[in-house]
């Protein structure tokens, strides 16, 4: 059936009133107001900001989905390519649900939730795959690389441990397992290196899977509608993690975090281990006084909430707590933070042009705060925002939270 | 589509048999010409894009244009209109898409103004601003809030509407009790006519004046376009007065069992110059959020000013309630309506009640309220549409009322369609009740009840400004789409 997956989210599709709140944030009638005191960013949807057509918005996608369900539209490669522009930052869902957020806060009663357009997008893409119309372009290339090599760069899995600093021994089995992720393993190695050094300095024993760590599969496979391929990666990783004896898995990448914590259980059921983000573990270790931040860093910094860590997994305070414990650092907030964060662009390879434009706009937000350093907690955020800052010729430094903590620890 | 088909299409859209359409090109040529004006990336005829623009915030069936075009400035709009005029191609302008039953098009071009979203000037001393027609109310509100100002009014659909669309629909919203319609405070517009002329109104029509004042030594041409719903031109720029933010805003709701004391209270509240906003709601509002209200009819008043002023006004409302029979229900309901506004209605949908529509908007004198309300409730009951409520804004003694109905698609669509038409027909016949602008229904396109000379003047103006009826042709003189 052409719309097999879409049928499962029919209620979401028909739940859309085409009111447009998803494209012109925020949805509270006016902020600041009696409940919420911050200004909200005008930009909500990266693809809408890039293309300007309503087509490329939650509202437009729901109209398209409805037309498919009602037989007024057929699946084509062009349609599949259009839907692939969504980065699944989930800002639309937050905006839509914000109507209820405001009123619920005022009357102290739960009323409902916004339209889950990301679920509609995933369903559409899965149906496109089933129809042989997706994925396309760079998305297909990355997915193919993962399918063949189990990492997004298409490199040999022998390179999985190439990030490990010389002389550092990390076992392959242990109760705490560092799921490094493709990007920190093979591209932005400084993130993995910083985190490993922190753990070593804090006398925290941890393991890595090495070649047995496969791509998490979330952003590249599941989000592209390649459900079966995703399940292969998911089952392998969960089996490997269990075989390593891990009770807790920590990730530095917000996408890996979301995928392991939220998406894997939908495939394999009970994981048998917990999943934490590095910022959560760092906050815990600081509280346990296992991490000592001794070096002063005289910087005004701002924090980019990764969409998947913040808006989706609702981890807001731990990274701020970690940053707040660094001597000398002054944290200032960007317009659009925590659940209202604005996407970094997310897909520097899969959709380079849109991601770059989105990232550039976010760099401008960071600059507007007066910060000299933009800290984030995700490999993709760092990748994309660094690229955007370089393109702009901006002097703002883009750093991952583990790098800043490592510096403050003197490691 | 070939030229013949395009001719047929435009003939239908412009009023069959008018014979005034000059179609000189086919859609491929038209597309190429549009791309030449705005750039290929801002013209689309993809089937899925046309479908994305097939709905607006209404219960109207979807309809698709031939093209969606995103101009970047008034000059591009001018060229597009010249082209459309020469080919007899209809133009429907889309802003935020929240003006129900106005933002879709059956064929022709949808002109999406969202690229024209810049605030051009904020003059804090003269207290006015200028923004492009596609600039969202939220963007403007946020920027002037930072500077200690507010707009006259808060759109009922939240921040999404654009300032150009608000002029096109008059602009009703919160704070109307104090500032009136949004458009009353507009000091000038830039509008592109069907022939491509770019016109500036107000003192900005003079070569030496910025748009700081609406009135000069000639007729108020701004008013010609206010409420025209895109039928006379494309509003590409709006200048409007801004107002200092009040120190304090507070709320009080009076509850009633009957309309008569509620209406008497409203008259007195206005006479004593108390409100920034007065809302009327029935207990359908409470049912939406599962809130049991002790009294069925609510008059919620927003007051603003210095702390002492606000305290005095709240006390004055309490006294009016005590004198006439309204029960003080505190501040919370008023705050909920003020901040949540019409958005409360979204909850209908998520609670499984179905699609919610603002069935219409009508201006009326307050004494008409009981009859309108009874008619509305009776019609809903007759058609089994039990999820409904009424909402109204009061303004200087009159009201703008919105009958709200939630229905489930597809099973209740027929009932809704019949009820909608009956409400429109019955309300149209009530003394001192006129169709409004913010949520036009097909009835509101009906020009038949107009006095003949009024209708003639309107038609003459339309024919003068838009002889080929390319500008939102369903508004004038056509009676519009059928239900």
Q: Supply the pLDDT for residue A240.
A: 98
Contact B305, B246 (CB under 8 A): yes
- Judged against a pLDDT cut of 90, whether residue A334 lies above it is answered with yes
Is there a contact between B48 and A21 if contact means CB atoms under 8 Å apart? no
Distance CA(B247)–CA(A64), nearest Å, equals 46
- Whether chain A has a CB inside 8 Å of the CB on B159: the answer is yes
SS3 (DSSP) at B445: helix
Q: Supply the pLDDT for residue A295.
A: 97
- Judged against a pLDDT cut of 70, whether residue B103 lies above it is answered with yes
Write the CA distances from B392 to A264, B152, B165, B361, B363, integer angstroms.
49, 18, 21, 9, 9
Pairing of strands B67-69, B109-112: parallel
Three state DSSP letters for chain A:
CCCHHHHHCHHHHHHCCCCCCCCECCCCCCCCCCCCCCCCCCECCHHHHHHCCCCCCHHHHHHHHHHHHCCCCCCCHHHHHHHCCCCCCCHHHHHHHHHHHHHHHHHCCCCCCCCCHHHHHHHHHHHHHHCCCCCCHHHHHHHHHHHHHCCCCCCCHHHHHCCCCCCCCCCCCCCEEEECCHHHHHCCHHHHHHHHHHHHHCCCCCECCHHHCCCCCHHHHHCCCCHHHHHHHHHHHHHHHHHCCCCEEEECCHHHHHHHHHHHHHHHCCCCCEEEEHHHHHHHHHHCCCCCCCCCCCEEEEEECCCHHHHHCCCCHHHHHHHHCCCCEEEECCCCCHHHCCCCCCCCCCCHHHHHHHHHHHHHHHHHCCCCEEEECCHHHHHHHHHHHHHHCCCCEEEEHHHHHHHHHCC
Question: Which is more confident, A44 or A295?
Answer: A295
- Judged against a pLDDT cut of 50, whether residue B440 lies above it is answered with no
Q: Supply the pLDDT for residue B106.
A: 87
Distance CA(A180)–CA(A241), nearest Å, equals 12
Contact B71, B31 (CB under 8 A): no
Please list every residue in chain B whose beta carbon sits closer than 8 Å to the beta carbon of residue A99: 340, 343, 346-347
- Judged against a pLDDT cut of 60, whether residue B443 lies above it is answered with no
Q: Point out the residue among B51, B160, B341 whose CB comes nearest to the CB of A63.
A: B51
Angle between helix axes A91-107 and A117-130 (nearest 10 degrees) is: 150
Is there a contact between B159 and A26 if contact means CB atoms under 8 Å apart? yes
Q: Supply the pLDDT for residue B101.
A: 61
Nearest CA in chain B to A105: B336
**Can you spell out the DSSP letters for B155-222?**
ETTTT-SBHHHHHHT---EETHHHH--GGGGEEEEEEE-TTS-EEE-GGGGSTT--S--S--SS--HH
What is residue B410's DSSP assignment? T
- Judged against a pLDDT cut of 70, whether residue B156 lies above it is answered with no
Contact A301, A369 (CB under 8 A): no
Distance CA(A123)–CA(B460), nearest Å, equals 52
Stretch (H or E) spanning B394 = strand B388-395
The 10s digit of each residue's pLDDT in B68-94 is 999 999 999 999 999 999 999 999 999
Stretch (H or E) spanning B419 = helix B413-428
Global pTM reads 0.91
Which whole number is the average pLDDT over B34-59? 92
Distance CA(A381)–CA(A387), nearest Å, equals 10
- Judged against a pLDDT cut of 90, whether residue B10 lies above it is answered with no
Would you place residue B289 in the very low, low, confident or very high pLDDT band (cuts 50, 70, 90)? Answer: low
Would you place residue A395 in the very low, low, confident or very high pLDDT band (cuts 50, 70, 90)? Answer: very high
Would you place residue B225 in the very low, low, confident or very high pLDDT band (cuts 50, 70, 90)? Answer: very high
SS3 (DSSP) at B381: helix
Q: Which residues contact A4 (CB under 8 A, 6 or more apart)?
A: A126, A127, A130
CA of B336 vs chain A CAs: smallest distance (Å): 7
> Which residue of A11, A12, A16, A18 to mutate against B (max B Cβ within 10 Å)?
A18
Q: Supply the pLDDT for residue A190.
A: 97
Portion of chain A with pLDDT greater than 70, in percent = 95
Stretch (H or E) spanning B334 = helix B332-335
Distance CA(A153)–CA(B235), nearest Å, equals 50
SS3 (DSSP) at B325: coil
Task: For chain A, state the CA radius of gyration.
Answer: 21
Least confident of A316-320, B206-210, B357-361, B384-388: B357-361
Contact A221, A143 (CB under 8 A): yes
Is there a contact between A53 and B70 if contact means CB atoms under 8 Å apart? yes
Gap between the terminal Cα atoms of chain A: 56
- Judged against a pLDDT cut of 80, whether residue A108 lies above it is answered with no
Is the peptide bond prior to B352 cis by the omega test (within 30 degrees of 0)? no
Nearest CA in chain A to B410: A14
Distance CA(A163)–CA(A190), nearest Å, equals 8
CA of A26 vs chain B CAs: smallest distance (Å): 7
SS3 (DSSP) at B89: coil
CA of B342 vs chain A CAs: smallest distance (Å): 9
The 10s digit of each residue's pLDDT in A17-38 is 787 778 876 545 456 666 666 7
Evaluate whether ipTM surpasses 0.90: yes
Residue listed under structure tokens 């009638």: A29
Q: Supply the pLDDT for residue B3.
A: 37
Distance CA(B289)–CA(B301), nearest Å, equals 20
Stretch (H or E) spanning B317 = helix B307-324
Which whole number is the average pLDDT over B208-220? 96
Distance CA(B382)–CA(B398), nearest Å, equals 29
Residue B469, token pair as written in the block:
């009826």
Question: Which is more confident, A119 or B355?
Answer: A119
Would you place residue B8 in the very low, low, confident or very high pLDDT band (cuts 50, 70, 90)? Answer: very low
SS3 (DSSP) at B437: coil
- Whether chain A has a CB inside 8 Å of the CB on B413: the answer is no
> Which residue of B49, B64, B289 to mutate against A (max A Cβ within 10 Å)?
B49
The 10s digit of each residue's pLDDT in B260-279 is 999 999 999 999 999 998 98
Q: Considering only CA atoms, which of A23, A389, A270, A265 is closest in space to residue B98? A: A23
Portion of chain A with pLDDT greater than 90, in percent = 82
Write the CA distances from A236 to A230, A239, A259, integer angstroms.
10, 5, 14
- Judged against a pLDDT cut of 70, whether residue A87 lies above it is answered with yes
Q: Supply the pLDDT for residue A403.
A: 98
Write the CA distances from A1 to A5, A70, A90, A128, A231, integer angstroms.
9, 14, 27, 11, 21
Q: Supply the pLDDT for residue B42.
A: 98
Is there a contact between A27 and B112 if contact means CB atoms under 8 Å apart? no
Please list every residue in chain B whose beta carbon sits closer than 8 Å to the beta carbon of residue A74: 47
Pairing of strands B173-174, B154-155: antiparallel
Is the peptide bond prior to A135 cis by the omega test (within 30 degrees of 0)? yes
Write the CA distances from B469 to A81, B192, B440, B474, integer angstroms.
37, 14, 19, 9
Write the CA distances from A389 to A83, A344, B14, integer angstroms.
27, 11, 51
Nearest CA in chain A to B104: A18
Least confident of A230-244, A363-377, B314-328, B423-437: B423-437
Which whole number is the average pLDDT over A127-153? 94
- Judged against a pLDDT cut of 60, whether residue A45 lies above it is answered with yes
Residue A84, token pair as written in the block:
């692939």
- Whether chain A has a CB inside 8 Å of the CB on B248: the answer is no
CA of A171 vs chain B CAs: smallest distance (Å): 50
Question: Which is more confident, A408 or B448?
Answer: A408
CA of A71 vs chain B CAs: smallest distance (Å): 12
The 10s digit of each residue's pLDDT in A277-294 is 999 999 999 999 999 999
Distance CA(B158)–CA(B175), nearest Å, equals 13
Would you place residue B441 in the very low, low, confident or very high pLDDT band (cuts 50, 70, 90)? Answer: low
Question: Which is more confident, B295 or B160?
Answer: B295
SS3 (DSSP) at B444: helix
- Judged against a pLDDT cut of 50, whether residue B483 lies above it is answered with no
Is the peptide bond prior to B477 cis by the omega test (within 30 degrees of 0)? yes
Is there a contact between B52 and A55 if contact means CB atoms under 8 Å apart? yes
Least confident of A101-110, A191-200, A249-258: A101-110
Is there a contact between B343 and A27 if contact means CB atoms under 8 Å apart? yes
Please list every residue in chain A whose beta carbon sits closer than 8 Å to the beta carbon of residue B158: 19, 21, 27-29
Contact A305, A338 (CB under 8 A): yes
Q: Supply the pLDDT for residue B288.
A: 64
Burial class (CB in 10 A: 0-12, 13-18, 19+), B128: buried
Residue listed under structure tokens 């009201």: B399
Q: Considering only CA atoms, which of B332, B324, B334, B335 is closest in space to residue B267? A: B324
Which whole number is the average pLDDT over B245-264? 94
CA of B48 vs chain A CAs: smallest distance (Å): 6
A vs B: CB pairs below 8 A: 170
Phi-psi sector, B376: left (phi>0), alpha (psi -120 to 50), beta = alpha
Residue listed under structure tokens 């530095």: A252
Mean of per-residue pLDDT scores for chain A: 93
A85: number of Cβ within 10 Å: 18
Please list every residue in chain B whose beta carbon sits closer than 8 Å to the beta carbon of residue A54: 49, 52-53, 68, 94, 97, 112, 114
Gap between the terminal Cα atoms of chain B: 27
Residue A106, token pair as written in the block:
């005022």
Distance CA(A281)–CA(B221), nearest Å, equals 65
Mean of per-residue pLDDT scores for chain B: 84
The 10s digit of each residue's pLDDT in B296-344 is 999 999 999 999 999 999 999 999 999 999 999 999 888 877 776 555 5
Nearest CA in chain B to A110: B289
Q: Which residues contact B90 (CB under 8 A, 6 or more apart)?
A: B10, B13, B14, B84, B105, B107, B108, B109, B469, B470, B471, B472, B473
> Which residue of A20, A31, A336, A357 to mutate against B (max B Cβ within 10 Å)?
A20
C-alpha torsion sign, points B220, B224, B226, B232: negative
Q: Supply the pLDDT for residue B18.
A: 36
Is there a contact between A52 and B55 if contact means CB atoms under 8 Å apart? no
Distance CA(A365)–CA(A394), nearest Å, equals 12
Would you place residue B24 in the very low, low, confident or very high pLDDT band (cuts 50, 70, 90)? Answer: very low
Which whole number is the average pLDDT over A66-71? 94
Which whole number is the average pLDDT over A289-311? 97
Q: Supply the pLDDT for residue B199.
A: 98
Question: Which is more confident, A25 or B104?
Answer: B104
Is there a contact between B53 and A54 if contact means CB atoms under 8 Å apart? yes
Angle between helix axes B413-428 and B369-382 (nearest 10 degrees) is: 160
B246: number of Cβ within 10 Å: 17
Is there a contact between A24 and B53 if contact means CB atoms under 8 Å apart? no
- Judged against a pLDDT cut of 60, whether residue B12 lies above it is answered with no
The 10s digit of each residue's pLDDT in A233-263 is 999 999 999 999 999 999 999 999 999 999 9
Strand-pairing partners, residue A248, are A176, A274
SS3 (DSSP) at B388: strand
Is there a contact between A106 and B351 if contact means CB atoms under 8 Å apart? no
Portion of chain B with pLDDT greater than 70, in percent = 84
CA of B453 vs chain A CAs: smallest distance (Å): 38
Contact B24, B87 (CB under 8 A): yes
């Amino acid at each position: 059936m052409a719309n097999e997956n879409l049928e499962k989210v029919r209620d979401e599709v028909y739940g859309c009133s085409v009111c447009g709140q998803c494209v012109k944030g925020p949805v509270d009638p006016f902020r600041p107001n009696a409940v919420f005191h911050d200004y909200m960013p005008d930009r909500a949807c990266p693809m809408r900001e890039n293309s300007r057509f309503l087509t490329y918005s939650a509202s437009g996608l729901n109209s398209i989905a409805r037309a498919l369900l009602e037989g007024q539209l057929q699946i084509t490669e062009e349609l599949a390519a259009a839907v692939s522009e969504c980065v699944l930052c989930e800002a639309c869902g937050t905006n839509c649900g914000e109507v209820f957020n405001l009123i619920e806060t005022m009357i102290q009663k739960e009323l409902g939730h916004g339209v889950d357009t990301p679920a509609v997008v995933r369903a559409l893409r899965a149906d496109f795959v089933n129809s042989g119309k997706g994925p396309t372009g760079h998305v297909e290339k990355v997915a193919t690389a993962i399918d063949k090599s189990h990492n997004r760069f298409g490199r040999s899995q022998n390179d999985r441990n190439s990030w490990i600093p010389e002389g550092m021994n990390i076992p392959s089995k242990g109760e705490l397992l560092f799921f490094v992720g493709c990007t920190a393993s093979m591209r932005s190695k400084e993130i993995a290196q910083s985190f490993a050094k922190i753990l070593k300095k804090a006398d925290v024993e941890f393991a890595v899977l090495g070649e047995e760590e496969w791509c998490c599969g979330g952003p590249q496979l599941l989000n592209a509608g390649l459900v079966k391929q995703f399940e292969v990666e998911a089952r392998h990783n969960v089996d490997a993690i269990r075989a390593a004896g891990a009770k807790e898995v920590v990730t530095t990448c917000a996408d890996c975090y979301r995928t392991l914590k939220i998406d894997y259980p939908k495939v394999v059921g009970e994981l048998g281990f917990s999943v934490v983000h590095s910022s959560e573990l760092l906050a815990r270790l600081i509280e346990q006084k296992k991490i000592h931040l001794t070096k002063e860093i005289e910087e005004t910094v701002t924090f980019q909430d990764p969409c998947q860590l913040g808006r989706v997994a609702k981890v807001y305070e731990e990274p701020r707590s970690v940053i707040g414990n660094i001597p000398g650092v002054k944290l200032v907030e960007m317009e659009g933070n925590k659940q209202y964060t604005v996407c970094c662009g997310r897909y520097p390879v899969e959709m380079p042009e849109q991601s770059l434009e989105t990232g550039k706009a976010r760099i401008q937000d960071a600059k507007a705060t007066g910060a000299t350093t933009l800290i984030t907690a995700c490999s993709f955020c760092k990748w994309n925002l660094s690229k955007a800052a370089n393109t702009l010729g901006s002097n703002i430094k883009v750093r991952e939270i583990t790098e800043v903590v490592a510096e403050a620890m003197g490691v | 589509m070939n030229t013949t088909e395009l001719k047929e299409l435009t003939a239908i859209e412009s009023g069959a048999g008018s014979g005034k359409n000059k179609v000189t090109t086919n859609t491929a040529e038209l597309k190429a010409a549009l791309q030449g004006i705005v750039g290929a990336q801002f013209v689309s005829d993809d089937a899925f894009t046309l479908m994305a623009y097939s709905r607006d915030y209404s219960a109207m069936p979807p309809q698709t244009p031939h093209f969606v075009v995103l101009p970047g400035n008034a000059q591009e709009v001018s060229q597009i209109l010249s082209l459309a005029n020469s080919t007899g191609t209809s133009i429907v302008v889309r802003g935020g898409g929240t003006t129900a039953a106005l933002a879709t098009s059956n064929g022709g071009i949808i002109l999406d103004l969202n690229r024209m979203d810049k605030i051009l000037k904020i003059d804090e001393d003269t207290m006015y601003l200028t923004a492009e027609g596609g600039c969202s109310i939220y963007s403007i509100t946020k920027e002037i809030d930072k500077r200690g100002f507010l707009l006259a009014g808060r759109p009922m659909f939240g921040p999404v509407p654009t300032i150009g669309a608000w002029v096109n629909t008059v602009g009703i919203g919160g704070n109307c009790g104090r500032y009136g319609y949004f458009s009353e405070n507009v000091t000038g517009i830039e509008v592109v006519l069907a022939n491509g002329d770019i016109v500036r109104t107000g003192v900005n029509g003079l070569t030496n004046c910025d748009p700081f004042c609406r009135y000069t030594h000639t007729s108020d041409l701004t008013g010609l376009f206010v409420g025209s719903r895109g039928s006379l031109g494309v509003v590409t720029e709006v200048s409007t007065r801004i107002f200092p933010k009040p120190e304090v805003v507070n709320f009080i709701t009076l509850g009633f069992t009957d309309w008569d004391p509620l209406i008497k209270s409203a008259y007195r509240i206005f006479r004593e110059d108390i409100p920034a906003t007065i809302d009327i709601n029935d207990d359908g509002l409470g049912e939406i959020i599962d809130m049991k209200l002790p009294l069925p009819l609510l008059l919620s008043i927003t007051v603003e000013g210095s702390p002492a002023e606000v305290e005095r006004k709240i006390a004055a409302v309490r006294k009016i309630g005590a004198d006439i029979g309204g029960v003080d229900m505190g501040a919370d309901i008023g705050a909920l309506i003020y901040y949540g506004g019409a958005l409360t209605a979204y909850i209908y949908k998520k609670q499984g009640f179905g699609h919610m529509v603002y069935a219409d908007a009508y201006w009326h004198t307050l004494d008409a309220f009981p009859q309108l309300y009874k008619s509305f409730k009776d019609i809903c009951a007759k058609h089994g549409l039990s999820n409904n409520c009424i909402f109204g804004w009061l303004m200087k003694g009159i009201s703008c009322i919105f009958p709200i109905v939630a229905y489930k698609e597809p099973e209740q669509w027929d009932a809704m369609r019949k009820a909608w038409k009956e409400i429109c027909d019955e309300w149209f016949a009530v003394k001192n009740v006129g169709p409004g602008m913010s949520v036009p229904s097909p009835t509101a396109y009906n020009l038949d009840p107009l006095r003949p000379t009024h209708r003639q003047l309107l038609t003459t103006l339309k024919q003068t400004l838009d002889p080929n009826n390319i500008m939102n042709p369903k508004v004038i003189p056509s009676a519009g789409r059928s239900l």
